[in-house]
Amino acid sequence: MPVHNADIATAFETIADLLEIEGANPFRIRAYRNAARTFSELSQEARDMLARGEDLTRLPGIGADLAAKAGELVSTGHCGLLDRLRKELPPAVTELLRIPGLGPRRVKALWHDLGVQTVEQLAHAAQAGRIRSLHGFGEKTERNIQDALRAQADQERRILRGAAAPYAESLREALAGVAGVSEVTVAGSFRRLCDTVGDIDLLVAAEDAAAVMRRFTGYDEVVDVLSAGATRASVLLRSGLQVDLRVVAAESYGAALHYFTGSKAHNIAIRRLGQQQGLKVNEYGVFRGRKRIAGETEASVYRAVGLPYIPPELRENRGEIELARTGKLPHLVRRSDLAGDLHAHTDASDGQDTLEAMANAARAQGLSYLAVTDHSAYLGVTHGLDAARLRRQGDEIDRLNSALTDFTLLKGVEVDILEDGRLALPDAVLAQLQVVVASVHSHFDLPRARQTERLLRALDNPHVTLLGHPSARLLGERAPLDVDMERVIRKAQERGSALELNSQPQRLDLNDLHCRMARDAGVPVSINSDAHRVSDFADLEQGIGQARRGWLEKRHVLNTLPLEGLAPLIGLNL
């Protein structure tokens, strides 16, 4: 794929940001920023200059080292320095740069001095009054950061994607039934499979926009029409959810779908890529001058700028465009790849259905094994299992397995991680089980250092198979644990343990960035339902969506393995 000046400029600007966060020499940082400006303003493509044998060091501010890196980008699509810097820094650190008032210098101080790597950790630190102690910050800056975080939260009233799905699907079906409608898609963050959404964006291809508008504004659930025009409208549903509609012609549908799917950062990068090729990319199509050369499908939009189709889940401008250039986009995991589920509950603890019913439901979902992981006795409110009840449940599992064909139940437990990192069941009991899920269900507000050490100690237990819902967040209800996830992931890698991606819609934990961190560290992720009733196995689809946003492929997911392949990795004796 051709590399354009804008790509070189973006790479150099990103290098400057990352170097500044790392505390590199200011002159070196300034050199990369100046180089980025030089290439962004260059009237001819650097790749064409190199093809003609021209020397890039003749350009203002471009020395031999910068010229070599530009040549490396042109020839390979990569820059070794940029790749190294991205590996050295936690992926979430760069997300802090999006907070108003936080530039690279302040992000560097927050990371190096306080260990703040994520927006959630930033909120924790501000609330605890730890930011004011940093040199150059003070109480006023701490208050400004808190105000910026609150403003961001207030600006986007977000609800669970799973909660929004029924409203979106009902409206989609209603509009699909209008005469002359050929396509209806739910776009925006919903289509990108974000765990929460601010509103619903509907895109329709139709011959008669007026008929679509009448059906939309007259929909039974609409309580307020916020705006209505010839091809666009916004309404408020009885549920409080805002829905925005756009109607376009069929020949522009792909371009509009790309535009309204987002993300904004991804779209800007694609438009910039088009500009470097003399193209205009917008919601109506891809144009060379006044001639539309693409836009009927999304694939045609990407093809016009020299890229293969990029799945919506990856469109966050986090490196997907660079990988697409080299044909190395990940082959994202699919629901059909899952062979089993390593976290589920029965009516023996806080579940609603029997062991046999859960086994039959899992098998009906196409799974070949299920770990039964009822709660340990520590949480009295969930009627947790002690050693004696676990033995009795194990006997029942043996009886069921003798009658089941092409399906296996595994003996397990979800054991509580105590405040000091010990587990709520003795090692002698855990040693008798095949799957041990260690999870936090209490003491959520421990300071970061203690919370991190708590998880590290739990992972040191040789009987732990995987860390359940690692951040313990409940979307819209409970913030994630204030924990150094980079250290947790490193410990899991050292101990040969896995991390869970819990598919419950209110958890979806790991988040997408932590999934990618685990992937890059070689730590397997287990996509589990945490089912408490037979219907909960359907939530695995949402877990898959989160995994795809985290760039996970089948090979990165522990429970895509058949039971025979899984057994040696987690010490199962079959």
Three-state secondary structure call for residue 514: helix
Confidence (pLDDT) at 44: 83
Which pLDDT band holds residue 95 (cuts at 50, 70, 90)?
confident
- CATH number, domain 159-248: 3.30.460.10
Query: What value does the mean pLDDT take over residues 439-451?
Result: 94
Least confident of 110-114, 297-301, 309-313, 408-412: 110-114
Provide φ and ψ at 522, rounded to 5°.
Answer: 75, 20
Q: Which residues contact 422 (CB under 8 A, 6 or more apart)?
A: 457, 458
Note the pTM of the prediction, 2 decimals.
0.77
CATH number for domain 335-570, candidates 3.20.20.140, 3.30.300.30, 3.30.930.10, 3.40.50.10890: 3.20.20.140
Confidence (pLDDT) at 156: 54
Closest CA to 165 of 573, 546, 542: 542
C-beta separation of 510 from 488 below 8 A = no
Instruction: Report how far residue 222's alpha carbon sits from residue 157's, in angstroms, rounded to the nearest whole number.
Output: 18
User: Is the per-residue pLDDT at 1 higher than 70?
Assistant: no
Closest CA to 188 of 201, 175, 173: 201
Instruction: Report how far residue 153's alpha carbon sits from residue 216's, in angstroms, rounded to the nearest whole number.
Output: 29
CATH number for domain 253-325, candidates 3.30.210.10, 3.40.50.300, 3.40.50.150, 3.90.180.10: 3.30.210.10
Q: Give me the residue spans of the domains in the chain.
A: 5-155, 159-248, 253-325, 335-570
C-beta separation of 162 from 538 below 8 A = no
C-beta separation of 235 from 200 below 8 A = no
Which pLDDT band holds residue 379 (cuts at 50, 70, 90)?
low
pLDDT in tens, 191-203: 999 999 989 999 9
Strand blocks (E) in 418-535: 435-439, 466-467, 498-502, 525-528
C-beta separation of 202 from 246 below 8 A = yes
User: Is the per-residue pLDDT at 242 higher than 90?
Assistant: yes
Per-position DSSP letters for 435-460, written without gaps between them: EEEEE--S-TT--HHHHHHHHHHHHH
User: Is the per-residue pLDDT at 157 higher than 80?
Assistant: no
- Kindly calculate the radius of gyration of the chain based on its CA atoms and give it in whole angstroms: 26
pLDDT in tens, 380-437: 556 789 999 999 999 999 999 999 989 999 999 999 999 999 999 999 999 999 999 9
Q: Give me the amino acid identity at 331.
A: H
C-beta separation of 342 from 435 below 8 A = yes
Count Cβ atoms below 10 Å from residue 139 Cβ, excluding itself. Answer: 11
Q: Which residues contact 256 (CB under 8 A, 6 or more apart)?
A: 203, 246, 248, 283, 284
Copy the structure tokens of residue 388. Answer: 């004696």
Copy the structure tokens of residue 292. Answer: 């539309």
Instruction: Report how far residue 519's alpha carbon sits from residue 525's, in angstroms, rounded to the nearest whole number.
Output: 8
Query: What value does the mean pLDDT take over residues 458-486?
Result: 93
pLDDT in tens, 22-39: 888 989 999 999 998 888
N-term to C-term CA, the chain: 49
Please state the separation of Cα 142 from the chain's center in Å. 28
Q: What angle do the packed helices 485-495 and 448-460 form, to 10 degrees? A: 10
The pLDDT mean for the chain works out to: 92
Confidence (pLDDT) at 3: 75
The more confident residue out of 529 and 97 is 529
C-beta separation of 414 from 343 below 8 A = yes
CA distance to 160, 186, 248, 404, per residue, from 166 (Å): 11, 12, 24, 35
Length of the chain in residues, anyone?
574
User: Is the per-residue pLDDT at 62 higher than 70?
Assistant: yes
How many helices (H) and strands (E) are present in the chain, helices listed first? 23, 17
The more confident residue out of 128 and 499 is 499
CATH 1.10.150.110 fits 5-155, yes or no: yes
User: Token match 């509950």: residue?
Assistant: 345
